[in-house]
A and B are shown apart, each in its own frame.
Chain A
Amino acid sequence: MYELVAFYLFSALTIGLFSVTVMSKNILYAMTSLAAGMVLISGFFFILGADFLGVVQLIVYVGAIMALYAFAMMFFDATKDIKENNTNSPLVFLLGGMSALLLILMFVGLQQANLANPDAIQALYPMTEGVGNAQDVGMVLFTKFLIPFEVAALMLLVAMISGILLAGKKMDNSLTEDVAADDEIMIVKDEK
């Protein structure tokens, strides 16, 4: 009963909030509704029993990514409405609706195939009985998915370095070839 109410509440709210994100003219409104929608999506994860995923969603998406966007807002003028000539043609909405219909048909086909032959889809890494979700995730992540985990860590490191390089001050001119930068470094050294 509670699951029913929670599901319909969360789905209505997320769809509404994400529509605001996509349709709004104001960057601040779009960002706020995106953050609120992400919080509600973590609610979906909690009612699905994926506790650890819900916590990661809250920490990484709502905490880190939205904070990053909020910092980037300082560089852009976020308070005034953005002027953009959106392609508001009915074709866009038609394509969106058609893709939604196509995805739903694909899922329905999957369900039908599964009902006809329930043993066709077997769990690759089944959940362990009597073990919490976080522990279960940890056991699978550090045994079966260790290499993708390490590659993801390396990718995050590369992303961090490139973020520093792109957004940092004076990072766009070379420190070894540019004469002005050389002089500046010398001046800084002299001051020390």
Chain B
Amino acid sequence: MIGLSHYLIVSAIIFSIGLVGVLRRRNLLMLFFATEVMLNGVNIAFAAISHYYNDLTGQMFAFFIIAIAASEVAVGLGILIVLYKKYGSLDLDDLANMRG
């Protein structure tokens, strides 16, 4: 039988995949993808805890996380487009212009 621990382990693995992506990627768009992966991993944990403790609070938090992810993508993609127009690249190494 599938218990709460199974879901929590899957969510921890997915979150860590996203964390590895954030740590190793240098392209801003790919960093965004890795962030989405992390948010999805957290949502699984919230839904699983909500199911096993018979509590709706977890689902509520998952809804607000989805809302925050949507607004993050809207603002972030706008910033990415402006950056791409200005620098012609989305690589973090090219964008670093405050190196002392």
Contact = CB atoms under 8 A, between A and B. Distances in A.
Contact of A68 (B2, B4, B67, B73): B73
A188 interface: no
Given A15-B17, A48-B7, A126-B56, A21 B62 contact: no
A167 B13 contact: no
Interface in B9-29: 9-10, 12-21, 23-27, 29
A99 B63 CA distance: 25
Given A141-B60, A172-B82, A85 B93 contact: yes
23 contacts: A11-B6, A14-B14, A15-B14, A22-B17, A27-B30, A41-B40, A41-B44, A44-B10, A44-B44, A50-B51, A53-B62, A75-B84, A76-B29, A82-B27, A86-B25, A88-B24, A100-B16, A103-B15, A125-B57, A137-B63, A140-B60, A155-B71, A162-B78
A166 interface: yes
Given A48-B48, A53-B47, A125-B56, A18 B2 contact: no
Contacts, number: 227
A164 B82 CA distance: 12
Interface of B is mostly: helix
B4 A22 contact: no
Contacts of A15: 10, 13-14, 17
A96 B81 contact: no
Contacts of B98: none
Interface string A111-133: 10000000001011111000000
A65 B33 CA distance: 11
A82 B30 contact: yes
Given A3-B2, A60-B66, A96 B77 contact: no
A44 B25 contact: no
Given A7-B2, A22-B34, A57-B66, A123 B54 contact: yes
A107 B8 contact: yes
Contact of B37 (A4, A21, A100, A160): A21
Nearest to A78: B29
Contacts of B69: 60-61, 65
B96 interface: no
B20 A123 contact: no
B32 to A, nearest CB: 8
Given A72-B77, A155-B71, A160-B74, A123 B53 contact: yes
Given A44-B47, A53-B59, A156-B70, A4 B2 contact: yes
Contacts of B33: 21-22, 30-31, 34
B25 to A, nearest CB: 7
Contact of A22 (B25, B48, B63): B25
